[in-house]
Amino acid sequence: MLVIVNNYMCEKIIVSETYQDLYSQSINQPEQFWADAAQAISWSKPWDKVLDDSNIPYYRWFKGAKLNTCYNAVDRHVEDGIGDQTAIIYDSPVTDTKQKISFSELQQQVAKMAGAMANCGVVKGDRVVIYMPMIPQTLVGMLACARLGAIHSVVFGGFAANELATRIDDAKPKVVLSASCGIEPNRIVAYKPLLDDAIDIATHKPDHTIICQRPQLIADMTAGRDLDWQQASDAAQPHPCVEVEATDPLYILYTSGTTGQPKGVVRDNGGHAVALAWSMKHIYNVKPGEVFWAASDVGWVVGHSFICYGPLINGSTTVLFEGKPIGTPDAGTFWRVIEEYQVKSFFTAPTAFRAIKGIDPDGDFIKKYDLSCLSALYLAGERCDPATLTWAQDKLQVPVIDHWWQTETGWPVAANLLGSCPAPVKAGSPSRPVPGYEVEVVDPSGEKVATGESGMIVIKLPLPPGTLPTLWQNDQRYFDAYLSQIDGYYLTGDAGYIDEDNYLWIMNRIDDVINVAGHRLSTGRLEEALSNHPSVAEAAVIGVKDDLKGELPLGLVVLSSDCTLDHREVQKQLIKQVRDEVGPVAAFKLIAVVDKLPKTRSGKILRATMKNIANGDEYGIPATIEDASVLDSIESALHDMGYAQ
């Protein structure tokens, strides 16, 4: 039985021997640990060495081994006799479409698409950019690249043309896979004109594009360059799986860089497959044949790891959902999907639950569905405030597991291992480090800080399998960005602390600390205090310039739909609550009620952008923003407070 602990002052937690044994072996005997884990994967050639440390700090896993990721995700399940099992459930409330694809059907579609790309000249090591919505063809395209040994780079569908062009120039794809359009709840987004513009802007020109024509919008095609997806697939011969090195890249996933030039995170084939197979069993507690749903997008790392590859490698059924947590058609969509497809384990972002909570604070929609199939809810993407976690646990009556990882790591760094050694939940903490990750908290000089003391969160090298070995064609930038600050450690960019039970607490990004008269305050801790108020659906805190104290915290809150209090009364209560929970040192007195917070399409709140607006600094509209019009209302609210001048 998991115990939900809703405050920081917790009773001493007894660490299970199972967890301690797993973790200790992973740190003290990493080669044996990961060699054992690698038995879950089918290899065409065994490794010469589990951990290659001949070029420190550029470690590589399973040197000399050969495999094919598509074979592990699709073909071997057909060969093992479960070809009739559903591999992909496609549910699209925005198009009123539902479809189930078996492993055998998936194998046929992937092999044919691999043949179509081979007809375009794609071979092992070539790059293919995928610019597509949440449709089954997107997963088919990813797996077809893996089948050929080609390196895919998925770009979030609907990205602006110049952002797509930047990625085309960096990856230099031979082919681009795309679709005629994406479907939003209230509009159709034409992808093909954006792709055409991107190719015009880019210096590198792909040889071909292969376009999935959706009935909602038929795209114009450029003769000689553009191919119709269905026609190209029908005309192709099925292509077999191509053997690749374990250390060969599977994909490149671009993440924002501080220089404005995106960083191409590289994921290799061997370590990636091993890590995902391990995590599906030990972290998510999902067996072959069971249904797993990650409500994310294939444009983000969650979509790569736990919509596409993780569940399929595990022989599980994955849900591909084209919709929103609210508005498609209502705040009960998630619960309908869970009941209809008997989802065992569900993964989404805290921001989705905040949105649902804001519209349905009493959980009335939850009561309409039988969710007895659900064993756990996992939250990640940004820190989950205790109020949201507690609300979800109370309404769903299942363990709610906040866990922490990054695009760069590819799979969880800290999590509750529900599949092997579940532990009590501390609301606000993503639990303990996952085996393989030696996590420490240090000061700027690299010295470990005391238990419970905040500092920079780092991970001792080598990182475990499945994490980034480098950036695409840029070892130096990888070293400079992640490894240079503290010798022998990977810098996560996050700040927090480790408590006496070895639970990790992620409080904020290193650059999201507010310095109030010499006191360093965590925006995460202040947001947590705001979110504990029953009338608050979402909260964000930024630092604004102050002549006397250097900076002051300013809170922006979105109220729950059932809030009947006057805004001034809410503000008064929130100021008191923060001062009671955090202390007068926070000097918290600035608060604005807003309708929405600006977010990326993956749900991250754009705190840095709001801070620039408040301080009157120049800012650009991030390419990843979900709705740029929200910035206008934020600027207006800040202007009314005397900021954004």
pLDDT at 596 over 60: yes
In a domain, 89, yes or no: no
Across the strands, what pairs with 244?
67
Residue 243: band (very low, low, confident or very high) from pLDDT cuts 50, 70, 90: very high
Identify whether 5 is part of a domain: no
* High-pLDDT (> 90) share of the chain, %: 72
The distance of Cα 356 from the centroid of its chain, to the nearest Å, equals: 19
pLDDT above 50 (res 7): no
SS (H, E, C) 275-339: HHHHHHHHCCCCCCCCEEEECCCCCCHHHHHHHHHHHHHCCCEEEEECCCCCCCCCCCHHHHHHH
pLDDT at residue 257, rounded to an integer: 55
Number of domains in the chain: 2
Task: Say if CB 253 and CB 154 are below 8 A apart.
Answer: yes
In a domain, residue 361? The reply is: no
Q: Token pair for residue 255? A: 């993440």
Please identify, among 223, 241, 259, the residue that sits at the C-terminal boundary of a domain.
241
Q: Which of 225, 241, 257 is at the close of a domain?
A: 241
Backbone φ and ψ for 73, nearest 5 degrees, come out as -90, -25
Q: What is the pLDDT of residues 430-448, one digit of tens each?
A: 999 999 999 999 998 899 9
Examine the pLDDT at 195 and tell me if it is beyond 80.
yes
**Sign of the CA dihedral running 602, 414, 3, 338:** positive
Domain boundary among 241, 271, 304: 241
Tell me how far apart the 2 most distant CA atoms of the chain are, in Å: 72
Inside any domain, residue 14: no
Q: What is the pTM of this model?
A: 0.85
Distance CA 514, CA 519 (A): 8
Strands 317-321, 86-92: pairing is: parallel
Tell me whether strands 4-5 and 425-426 are parallel, antiparallel or unpaired: parallel
Indicate whether 144 belongs to any domain. yes
Distance of CA 274 to the CA centre of its chain: 19
Whether 616 is in a domain gets the answer: yes
In a domain, 58, yes or no: no
Which pLDDT does position 17 carry in this prediction?
57
**Residue 119 to residue 44: CA distance in whole angstroms:** 25
Confidence of residue 90 (pLDDT cuts 50, 70, 90): very high
Judged against a pLDDT cut of 90, whether residue 16 lies above it is answered with: no
**Phi then psi for 620, rounded to 5 degrees?**
-105, 155
- Give yes or no for a contact between 239 and 118, defined as CB atoms under 8 angstroms apart: yes
Q: What is the pLDDT of residue 128?
A: 98
The average confidence (pLDDT) of the chain is: 91
Mean pLDDT of 390-403: 94
Q: What is the pLDDT of residues 473-530, one digit of tens each?
A: 999 999 999 999 999 999 999 999 999 999 999 987 776 667 675 555 778 778 888 9
Judge whether 606 and 599 are in contact, CB under 8 Å: yes
Average pLDDT over residues 190-206: 96
What is the CATH classification number for the domain harbouring 631? 3.30.300.30
| pLDDT number for residue 546 | 81
Bond into 598 cis (ω within 30) = no
> What's the average model confidence in pLDDT over 383-408?
91
Task: Dump pLDDT digits (tens) for 319-371.
Answer: 999 999 999 999 999 999 999 999 999 999 888 888 899 899 999 999 999 99
Predicted local distance difference test score (pLDDT) of residue 175: 98
Q: Is residue 218 part of a domain?
A: yes
Residue whose entry in the numeric block shows the structure tokens 């490894």: 483
Phi, psi (deg, nearest 5) at residue 467: -85, 170
Domain that holds residue 203: 98-241
Count Cα neighbours of 363 within 13 Å in the Cβ-side half-sphere: 15
pLDDT tens digit sequence for 532-590:
899 899 999 988 888 777 788 899 999 988 888 888 898 999 988 887 777 676 778 99
Question: At 107, which CATH number?
Answer: 3.40.50.980
Q: What is the distance between the alpha carbons of residues 57 and 488, in angstroms, rounded to a whole number?
A: 7
